[in-house]
Amino acid sequence: MSKFGTFGDYPKGSLPSAEAALLTAWRSLERYHNDLVLVGGLAVHYLTKRGAESGTPGAVTIDVDFGISLAASGDQYGTIKSDLAGLDFKSEGNRLVRKFGNLNLYLDFLTEDPPSLTGTRIVDDVVASVIPGVNRALACRRMVPVAGRDLYGADQKCDVAVADIGPMLVLKLNAFGGPTGRRLPKDAYDVLLVVTRFVDGAEAAVAAFRAEAKAGNTGYEFALKALQRDFSQADQDGPIRAAEFHPGNAEDRGRLRESVATVGRMLLGT
């Protein structure tokens, strides 16, 4: 289990531990950097403003999620799995996991293989889940400076390729309500977070999402359907489940439901 039903269920230190896993893996996978992009909860963290000015908690995660090009290959220089095995990441089903203190830190890979909407593919030698929209995330990245200690306690500083806001919103909406959507409270909450706290402002986030319609993002139509079905009204699944992820009282959750629905309608342009 690496996703929890509420913010408070996440173990203390989970996000900085995930960041340490990112710093450890990213440096080791340098020859793959053109074929990798950070998505998921850590990407939300780097795309959003810090601080609690909105009254809601920021991003939280215990995973490192990478979008990866289907054609990624280490050639004669080894493989992703062998490189990461040297860092003590072990295979667990379709994932890679490393123990760090009392936490299990997971690395997951996502790829795209049109016209397939679901399933898995072997990329280099890791299992990657097929997710529409990953290719746009790979094509539309922003380099974010990340500094901190890795899993060995060494200070690291590097520029990490992070999915930009338009492709990121498509992926998050589909994580909740797309072809393989799991309808998890955290994914719905992340949609609210990544728009309202986007580093360049909510209007820029909305404009970037809408631009994906003309950019050929294969996940856009699914994201649009998820918005209409799950995020446009306060009594729909997105607002309800996002509010359950929030650790406030009933009044706080009511306000949060309205905020999520407002964001949904902004993204829809209604």
Q: What is the pLDDT of residue 56?
A: 65
The DSSP result for 25-37, as a single string, is HHHHTGGGGGGEE
Pairing of strands 120-123, 95-100: unpaired
Contact 38, 66 (CB under 8 A): yes
Query: Is residue 87, in this structure, part of any structural domain at all?
Result: yes
Question: Cα–chain-centroid distance for residue 6?
Answer: 17
Query: What total of structural domains would you count in the chain?
Result: 1
Query: Is residue 81, in this structure, part of any structural domain at all?
Result: yes
Residue range(s) defining the domain that contains residue 202: 7-268
Give the pLDDT confidence of 96-145 residue by residue, as tens digits. 999 999 999 999 999 999 999 999 999 999 999 999 999 999 999 999 99
Q: What is the pLDDT of residue 249?
A: 86
- End-to-end alpha-carbon separation of the chain, Å? 37
Query: Is residue 233, in this structure, part of any structural domain at all?
Result: yes
Contact 21, 65 (CB under 8 A): no
Query: Is residue 2, in this structure, part of any structural domain at all?
Result: no
Give the pLDDT confidence of 56-79 residue by residue, as tens digits. 678 999 999 999 999 998 777 789
Q: State the Cα–Cα distance between residues 72 and 79, nearest whole angstrom.
A: 10
User: Which segments of the chain have a pLDDT < 50?
Assistant: 1
Q: What is the pLDDT of residue 8?
A: 85
Query: Is residue 163, in this structure, part of any structural domain at all?
Result: yes
Query: Is residue 1, in this structure, part of any structural domain at all?
Result: no
Query: Is residue 179, in this structure, part of any structural domain at all?
Result: yes
Taking alpha carbons only, the member of 265, 150, 253 closest to residue 206 is 265
Query: Is residue 100, in this structure, part of any structural domain at all?
Result: yes
**pTM for this predicted structure:** 0.94
Contact 58, 199 (CB under 8 A): no
Taking alpha carbons only, the member of 125, 81, 132, 96 closest to residue 111 is 132
Q: What is the pLDDT of residue 1?
A: 46
Contact 69, 35 (CB under 8 A): yes
